[in-house]
Amino acid sequence: MKKIIAIALIFFSMLLTSACYNFNNDANKSSTDFFAMDTYMSITAYGGNADKILQQAKDQIKRLEGMWSVTDKSSEIYAVNHSNGKPTEVSEETSELLTFALDISEKTSGALEPTIYPVLSAWGFTTEQYRIPNDREIKNLLKKVDYKKVSLSEKSVQLKPEMMIDFGSLGKGYASDIATEFLQDNGVSSALLDLGGNIKTIGAKPDGSDWKLGVKDPEGSGNVGVLSVSDIAVVTSGNYERYFTDRDGKKYGHIIDPTTGHPVENDLQSVTIIAKEGRLCDALSTSLFVMGLDKAVDYWRQYQDFDMILITDDGEIHITEEIKSKFTIDSDHKNMKINVITAK
């Protein structure tokens, strides 16, 4: 029986950011591929025999999945979501991730909305039974959505009745951080983690060169370009791969604008965030996608603790100045205009 896990989404998406690597020397390579958080994941590590460590990293990710699933009755998030307004004790990791999520919600003025689940469900994204809810239904559901009403005191979480938390926007990023830390603590100094398109690299490639990570073309099957980076996380969000289409061919994607209760419709096709921490990349790729181009650029100017590549619906690339030198545009996309975002 298919287990529906809502911390990721419904059907397998092609990876938004793909790792396109070629290794000449695979002698010391260990890798594991598995399905978790409703997506395909792979971890590849180099040096020594990392097989056992990779299995343990995988177990860690599965453990986090078990804690954060919205549908698994034994998960912590399930307990929080069904506590009828009563406080619920959660683990250190869940409390840490929720603290982080609420902080980004605040900084993005609610573009990151970890309580959007009831609206997401109404559109059918959690079951693949897609439908277009009417305005009244959306208005009523939005009453159950408000990160400001989540109260967290140390490890005790309390929601208003009928509210629900969903870590779909940032759980994979956080999982990549936990797995990275575990691998590094166990001596891995070169690895590539691909958690359903949430990419994390440990160190450089075994030959000392940068990893080559493709940034997907939101309109086609290839990449618009390649990032050459080390020791970094890279995460992309967009509404072009997990979506449904209505009779008129209009697309509805799985990232919801919390101000309207509708799938995001703006001038962006995709947002790629590049930073040390996977959790920051994952949270910001989703929320800056909600914000649209101008607000995303304003946000970057305010914080500047990450880099980003935005692809707009008119086929232009907006890239922060630091990362530009690490980005090579694909030969098939040389006609795309590149705008460099500067600090001003």
Q: Does position 341 bind ligand ADP by CB under 6 A?
A: no
Instruction: Report the residue number, 95 or 286, with the smaller CB distance to Mg ion.
Output: 286
Q: Which of 206, 214, 218, 258 binds ligand ADP (CB under 6 A)?
A: 258
Residue by residue, DSSP assigns 18-60 as: EE----S--TTEEEEEEEETTEEEEEEEESS--HHHHHHHHHH
Residue 254's identity, in one-letter code, is H
Residues 268-307 that bind Mg ion (CB under 5 A): 282, 285-286
With CA atoms as reference, report the closest residue to 220 among 336, 305, 113, 116: 336
Residue 126's identity, in one-letter code, is T
- Cα Rg of the chain, angstroms: 20
Whether the Cβ atoms of residue 265 and residue 299 lie closer than 8 Å to each other? no
Q: Does position 120 bind ligand ADP by CB under 6 A?
A: yes
Residues 188-207: x where in contact with ligand ADP by CB under 6 A, - otherwise, as a string: --------xx----------
- Three-state DSSP at 78 gives helix
Instruction: Report the residue number, 30 or 239, with the smaller CB distance to ligand ADP.
Output: 239
Please report where in the chains the tokens 């940032």 appear, as a residue: 170
Q: How far is the CB of 208 from ligand ADP (least distance, A)?
A: 30
With CA atoms as reference, report the closest residue to 165 among 118, 129, 203: 118
Q: What is the DSSP letter of 251?
A: E
166 binds, among ligand ADP, Mg ion, none (CB under 5 to 8 A by kind): ligand ADP
Only segment of 41-49, 149-157, 166-174, 334-342 that touches ligand ADP (CB under 6 A): 166-174
Q: Does position 108 bind ligand ADP by CB under 6 A?
A: no
Which residues sit at the interface with Mg ion, rule CB under 5 A? 169, 282, 285-286
Interface residue list for ligand ADP (CB under 6 A): 8-9, 13, 112-114, 116, 120, 166, 168-169, 196-197, 237, 242, 254-256, 258, 282, 285-286, 290
